[in-house]
Amino acid sequence: MFLLNRNALHGKPLDVTDAETLGITGADTVERFLAHRENHAMTPLHALPALASELGLGALHVKDEGFRLGLGSFKALGGAYAVFRLVLEQAGKRLGRSVDVSDLDRADVRSVAAKMTFACATDGNHGRSVAQGAELAGARAVIFVHAGVSDERISAIARYGAEMVRVDGNYDDSVRQAAEVAAQKGWTVVSDTSWPGYERIPGLVMQGYTAIVREALRQLSEPPTHVFVQAGVGGIAAAAAGHLAIVLGEARPIFTVVEPARAACIVAAAVAGRVVKAAHDQPTVMAMLECYEASQVAWRVLARAADAFMTVDEDDAIAVMRRLARPAGDDPVIVSGESGGVGLAGLIRALAANKTDLGLDGRSRVLVINTEGATDPHRYAELVGMSPADVLAGKLAAEATP
């Protein structure tokens, strides 16, 4: 499915609150927090000239989040950042003084954090970020996972000391249960989706993602003309589209949101003109995007800042994983998980069917985001036919060849 954005809000300025969240000042705050992370490093931006030539594009770049902060996903930027902000706010209230990120390791701040419990629902990556943030701050984390989350992903979260709670049903069911239990016990929910009355914390999570766009714009010699970003509940897509709209204004790129056909909650919102529950049947291989109801905050941004919405099929996502693992020409090897290359899958499909609608041609400079590496290595090997280690070993061998 492909839809141009016909919403009456399309092209209008962001809501004031969203503009504050996703604007320059918010991105500055994110960078200041990142500077205090021991393993922070700007993630690479890869040029894929061979694939760009094959697709008839002027340039194609992939912002690779596969190794972000040791978590293997862009989600490392959101949940942990929100946890730090919330701990520092609570510490400031309890201690009666201003506290900043540099105070996170102070004994009095950690004493406040030790009394806080953070809860969330996750498909895997967001939960790892919340759990890591809680561990680093000295707080407790309780992570709710639905029936479709693999044992490998659960183990990856639990290693950060989080308590794991398995929930029957899908992601949306785990969101509801996390919110209900947290309300009963007085815990703080750090969700990457929002609902009426619960918007500020998901906004902080989205604010964390602005670092990706800011880095990419610095790494590119020219701003992109087109951007394709995948969506689950819509957080990363909204953060990228919103920040680009604020920073570039009328020169912003044409922005397309890409979803699995089996879990297309943003497309459903685009059709209805509001957030609705998307119909679903079979699960999707794009496990990190398997969400059936869009975030209210994300949709509010995308209704204004996205230009098109589209879906891709299961085979599209798998084909991109394989292509990035076995690139043509001098293109670099990229390890991309089941959901990581969905933006690229959308670009390839759009070039085949909606090229004119989006103004894609030989002068187009396209940016996509590899949102995750092999966060489930076993599943990656099943789908790609090589382990992530072997894929990277091939890359290293190629780099070592004179």
Domain 1-65+200-391: state its class.
Answer: alpha beta
pLDDT in tens, the chain (402 residues): 999 999 999 999 999 999 999 999 999 999 999 999 988 999 999 999 999 999 999 999 999 999 999 899 999 999 999 999 999 999 999 999 999 999 999 999 999 999 999 999 998 889 999 999 999 999 999 999 998 888 988 999 999 999 999 999 888 899 999 999 999 999 999 999 999 999 999 999 999 999 999 999 999 999 999 999 999 999 999 999 999 999 999 999 999 999 999 999 999 999 999 999 998 889 999 999 999 999 999 999 999 999 999 999 999 999 999 999 999 999 999 999 999 999 999 999 999 999 999 999 999 999 999 999 999 999 999 999 999 999 998 766 666 655
Q: Give yes or no: 123 in active site.
A: yes
Domain 74-189: state its class.
Answer: alpha beta
pLDDT score recorded for residue 396? 63
CB 162 within 8 A of CB 260: no
CB 87 within 8 A of CB 112: yes
pLDDT score recorded for residue 401? 58
Helix, strand or coil for residue 251? helix
Q: Tell whether pTM > 0.85.
A: yes
Catalytic residue among 18, 64, 123, 376: 123
Residue keyed to tokens 């984390």 = 141
Amino acid letter, 1 = M
Distance CA 106, CA 63 (A): 35
Distance CA 399, CA 270 (A): 45
DSSP character string of 48-108: -HHHHHHHT-SEEEEEE-TTGGGTTBGGGGTHHHHHHHHHHHHHHHHHTS---GGGTTSHH
Catalytic residue among 18, 75, 331, 376: 75
Distance CA 221, CA 281 (A): 44
Say whether 74-189 and 1-65+200-391 share the same fold: yes
Q: 270-290 burial string, b = 16+ CB within 10 Å, else e?
A: beeeebeebebeeebbbbbbb
How do the domains of the chain map onto residue ranges? 1-65+200-391, 74-189
pLDDT score recorded for residue 398? 60
